[in-house]
Amino acid sequence: MSSREARYNMAAMALQAPTLFAIPTKVTRKLAPVQGDVAVQLATSIRENSTDEELILAMCGGAEWAIELLYHRYARYTFALAYRMLRDISTAWRNEQHTLIRSALAQLPAEQRHVIELAYFGGFTQAEIAEREGIPLGTVKGRMRLGLQKLRVLLQE
């Protein structure tokens, strides 16, 4: 057995991949000049240059390195896809909640709805609402309390 064949056999054992022997002639050109352990460089180069199909075949053979390589190769794309899907779900959920709240608010009497909208969507305090609308503070507090109680009942249905 020549020295070259011995290196290929060492790399094959390191990779545990049956398709290894189709690649070495291409790989040795990329490794020149050779420094360090040739078998390790050859194994690393073959792993990094493997096609997805070769990696999946290696995974079927139990090679954990193939799973890691596929993970690192596609992690960014997988994360971006998952992020987009979660963002879409989150947006849909917020839109649904917005619709439910608006429809429940529409069922309230106008004066209760108006006070709640000023407080929660306008950012006004109860005292500011009373001053702005020219009604007593106790009336604002009562309308808010009754309106929020009715909203609770409507949203629980």
According to the 3-state scheme, what is the secondary structure of 30-66? HHCCCCCCHHHHHHHHHHHCCCHHHHHHHHHCCCHHH
Euclidean distance between CA atoms 21 and 47, whole angstroms = 13
Cβ atoms of 58 and 66 within 8 Å: the answer is: yes
| Stretch(es) of the chain classified as CATH 1.10.10.10 | 107-156
The most confident of 32-36, 45-49, 111-115, by mean pLDDT: 111-115
Chosen CATH of 107-156 out of 3.40.50.2000, 3.20.20.80, 1.10.10.10, 2.60.40.1150: 1.10.10.10
Predicted confidence band at 110 (pLDDT cuts at 50, 70, 90)?
A: very high
Average pLDDT for the chain: 77
Residue in 116, 101, 118 with CA at minimum distance from that of residue 156? 101
**What mean pLDDT comes out for the span 60-84?**
82
Q: Please give the structure tokens belonging to residue 140.
A: 């604002």
